[in-house]
Amino acid sequence: DAGITQSPRYKITETGRQVTLMCHQTWSHSYMFWYRQDLGHGLRLIYYSAAADITDKGEVPDGYVVSRSKTENFPLTLESATRSQTSVYFCASSEGEGRNSNQPQHFGDGTRLSIL
């Protein structure tokens, strides 16, 4: 079925470790996004991508790295995890972005990441 899938769904790791969260979409949407969700903050944009090999920072990019070699994949890497990065991470995709799109973003099921 078409959709957006994230893996893993749950991850526990230690401070200082590198961890990569995966995101795959089958809609061929141009735009993909990574958000983190924390109590009291709603969802905050980490990074986004307008197309393969085009990425840009969002509101809270520090400590994260992204890449997009293929349209359908948008992995998020924490190069050296810290406790403050414990959160629920959501990947999303959309056909357009900003004022060029009348469609909502579609979200994956999220990855719950705990850093000890």
Partner 1 sequence: ELKVEQNPLFLSMQEGKNYTIYCNYSTTSDRLYWYRQDPGKSLESLFVLLSNGAVKQEGRLMASLDTKARLSTLHITAAVHDLSATYFCAVIPNFGNEKLTFGTGTRLTIIP
- β-pairing, 10-13 vs 111-115, is parallel
Numbers of helices and strands, H then E, in the chain: 0, 11
Q: Residue 33 CB, nearest distance to partner 1 (Å)?
A: 8
Nearer Cβ to partner 1 (45/52): 45
What is the CA 8 to chain-centroid distance, rounded? 12
Minimum CB separation of residue 102 from partner 1 in Å reads 6
Site residues, partner 1 (CB under 8 A)? 33, 35, 40-45, 48, 58-59, 90, 92, 97-99, 102-110
Within its chain, how far is the Cα of 108 from the centroid? 9
* Closer residue to partner 1, CB minimum distance, 15 or 103: 103
